[in-house]
Amino acid sequence: MLKKRALNFAIFVEATFPPVSRANLRMYRLGLALSAKGHNVYVISPNQFLHLQKTVFKNLNAYLYPGFAFFLYRRFLRFFVRVSHIIISVIYLQRLNKRIRFDAIHAWNPIAGLASIIGGKIGRLTMFSDLTDFYSDIARYESIMLMPLFRYIERTILANSNMVFTVSEEMKEAFTNIYPASNKIKIVPDGVDPKMFDRKGDGNLVRLKYKLGKSPVIIFHGDIKLIDGVDVLVRAFPSVLKKMPDAKLLIVGGDGPLFEGLKDTVKDLKIESSVIFTGWVPYSEVPNYIAASDVGVMPLLSTLLSNCYLSFKLFEYWGMEKPVIVSKVKAISRIAPHGISSLHVIPGDVNDLSNTIVKVLLDKKLAKLIGRNGRKNVEEIFDWNYLMNLEANFCEEYIYKNN
């Protein structure tokens, strides 16, 4: 039997590399899995500066093309920045392909996905895409004018990719309703690094920094989008304080208008002394913030996206063996049953959320059970190494079979 040759993979990402946050984390872990199989991985990413930078990071060859990554998430500039990134990344892909001869392009989410489709068509390459969010649904609530554009991009990616990876049965069904591509969609959930997020995390310095003492601490961490329902959590907190006056709410991450609006709500409710906004923290420090807390909360509103996706927060709370309170949305509720590995609340229901927070803080036995079961899920199912090795297998088998 002939030995199968090493393959050359180009991986498109739309934010800086290596990842300093959750952005690009999935593609980074996929790159490591492909590299561990003996394949050559070339990451194509925007730079913070106006020059080409080449580097090698954990056996991944990174080409950081001249870009404007610093402005990628600026509200009034990001559209123009992302358009420029598409154009420049396609140009650099063609240059690299002439020298390396890629076997496949792999990209995550709409902007990088569209760049890979354009570049792949020009170079006649195999194209793989990871669609783990509905950006058209995010636009529905945050920038309605862009919704048709993102829906068009999603359809284009689904129509032109040789294989598409998504995170849940619910998301596969929803994408199939946009474009009949069920035969090419594979389900590989998001995950977490169980060694980075583990029960041994030390939250003492965080508690000391924010003067938390022995107060019970509730945490929400990550970007703050409208569908995250963090405003529901803030409005539920005064009722929590009536029963547990020393409780603290730790909001880690977030910026922009929604973030500032939450601060105004906290002031209006007169709970400034009980709510702590940390601002953005490096991803490497997130485990310590979760370790400093007693319960993780995901107060999602019920939307197309929230009913289909799997949030990194869930797996990170689980990895740290923390009990999780999550809105009863479809995909997450299915993998996190109520009373077993999470507690469900009615989306948008302030009273249900506040009562459930108090319940899990007072019932130590229940909290421990939910946290322990969550950790077991991470170790057995939602480990990045296992999941991305599975995705890497799909990719290499497709290429070996069709080329």
d(C-alpha 314, C-alpha 299), whole Å = 11
Give the HSE-up count for residue 342: Cα atoms under 13 Å, Cβ half-sphere.
Answer: 25
Closest CA to 174 of 161, 188, 158: 158
Please say if the pLDDT value at position 48 is more than 90.
no
Q: What mean pLDDT is predicted for residues 134-139?
A: 82
Q: Which two tokens stand for residue 329?
A: 């949305």
**Domain residue limits, the chain:** 8-189+383-402, 204-380
Between 3.40.50.970, 1.10.287.1080, 3.40.50.2000, 3.90.1150.10, what CATH number should domain 8-189+383-402 receive? Answer: 3.40.50.2000
Is residue 290 within 8 A of residue 261, CB to CB? The reply is no
Angle between helices 230-243 and 350-362 (to 10 degrees): 50
Please say if the pLDDT value at position 200 is more than 50.
yes
Report the predicted TM-score, pTM, of the whole model to 2 decimal places: 0.92
Integer CA distances (angstroms), 54 to 17, 46, 243, in order = 11, 11, 56
Give the HSE-up count for residue 286: Cα atoms under 13 Å, Cβ half-sphere.
Answer: 27
Interval 268-321: pLDDT, tens: 999 999 999 998 888 889 999 999 999 999 999 999 999 999 999 999 999 999
Find tokens 């969010």 and name the residue: 133
Per-residue pLDDT band for 55 (boundaries 50, 70, 90) equals confident
Domain 204-380, CATH homologous superfamily name and number:
Glycogen Phosphorylase B; (3.40.50.2000)
Strands (E), 265-322: 275-279, 295-298
d(C-alpha 77, C-alpha 59), whole Å = 33
d(C-alpha 242, C-alpha 24), whole Å = 41
Higher-pLDDT residue of 148 and 353 is: 353
The percentage of the chain sitting over the pLDDT mark of 70, rounded to a whole number, equals 92
Output the CA torsion 106→224→190→342 (10° steps).
-170
| CATH topology identical between 8-189+383-402 and 204-380 | yes
Q: What mean pLDDT is predicted for residues 244-260?
A: 87
Q: Coil, helix or strand for 250?
A: strand
Closest CA to 134 of 13, 299, 304, 12: 304
Q: Which two tokens stand for residue 82?
A: 């992302």
Is residue 129 within 8 A of residue 157, CB to CB? The reply is yes
Side chain identity at residue 273, one-letter code: S
pLDDT confidence of residue 2: 47
pLDDT confidence of residue 78: 62
Is residue 364 within 8 A of residue 180, CB to CB? The reply is no
Strands 53-57 and 60-65, by their bridges, are: antiparallel
Q: What mean pLDDT is predicted for residues 238-261?
A: 90
d(C-alpha 181, C-alpha 155), whole Å = 10
Interval 153-178: pLDDT, tens: 899 999 999 999 999 999 999 999 88
